[in-house]
Amino acid sequence: MTSGDFDDLYREIILDHYRSPRNRGELESPPAHRVEGFNPLCGDEVVISLLVEDDRLADLKIGGSGCSISQSSASLMSSAVKGKSLDEVRELIHTFKGMMSIHEALLGKDGEADEPQAIDFDRLGELAALQGVVKFPVRIKCATLSWIALAQGLDEVAAGVS
């Protein structure tokens, strides 16, 4: 019954991370920093505890609840960024957001078709499984929820917000 696009959306790795989310829970705060993300349209929420030490994301835990796309994206993200340097994490956030805005990138500045933005899928690893989401624009916000929260959390840590 399912179309190819639909199967791309719900790939096995996404369902696996949804059923068995990695890095679930909460870190003691402080020393960890806590940041929340909400999708006001559907009520999904994510709570990220992140522990930054020596310019590395030493640990993070994911809480909250939501649909399979938002929760698996958060789980995949946690696996991908844990232990990485902050520069690497920011680079990954940038690359992931680029993948999620691929349609906008294709449209170019004046609405004309443009060369696709180069996405380094190798760098994304398992996260590339989420690229099927871009064919379902309503769900992009689900996939990016945890990433936007993580970026906000890193900004807050850098700015010394507790």
Partner 1 sequence: MTVAAPLDVEALRKDFPLLTRRVHDRPIVYLDSASSALQPQVVINAMANYYETTHANVHRGVYATAEESTHLYENARLVVGRFIGAPDPAHEIVFSKNTTESINLVAHTWARANLKAGDRVLLTEMEHHANLVPWLMLADEIGLEVRHIPVDGEGRLDLDDLSNLVAGAKLVGLSAMSNVLGTINPVAEIAAVAHSAGAVVLVDGAQLVPHVPIDVQALGADFLAFSGHKMMGPTGIGVLWARRELLTAMPPFLGGGGMILDVKLDSFRPAAPPARFEAGTPPIAEAVGLSTAVDYLRGIGMDRIRAHERELTAYALGRLDDKLGGDCRIFGPPAGDDRGGVISLAYRDIHAHDLAQVLDQFGVCVRPGHHCAKPLMRKLGVQATARASLSLFSDERDIEVLIEGLVEAGRLFG
Binding segment toward partner 1, per CB under 8 A, in 29-37, 54-62, 63-71, 115-123: 63-71
Decide: residue 59, CB within 10 A, 0-12 exposed, 13-18 middle, 19+ buried.
Answer: middle
- Is residue 44 near partner 1 by the rule CB under 8 A? yes
Contacts of 112 (CB under 8 A, 6+ apart): none
137-158 and 68-81 helices cross at what angle (nearest 10)?
Answer: 40
Binding segment toward partner 1, per CB under 8 A, in 24-32, 59-67, 104-112, 146-154: 59-67
List the interface residues with partner 1, window 71-110 (CB under 8 A). Answer: none
Binding segment toward partner 1, per CB under 8 A, in 60-68, 78-86, 100-108, 119-127: 60-68
CA quadruple 103, 108, 114, 115: dihedral positive or negative?
A: negative
How many whole angstroms separate alpha carbon 87 and alpha carbon 21? 25
User: Of the candidates 69, 124, 128, 134, which one interacts with partner 1 according to CB under 8 A?
Assistant: 69
User: Of the candidates 24, 68, 86, 123, which one interacts with partner 1 according to CB under 8 A?
Assistant: 68
Pairing of strands 45-53, 33-38: antiparallel
- Is residue 15 near partner 1 by the rule CB under 8 A? yes
What residues make contact with partner 1 under the rule CB under 8 A? Answer: 1-3, 6, 9-10, 15, 18, 41-45, 65-69, 136, 139, 142
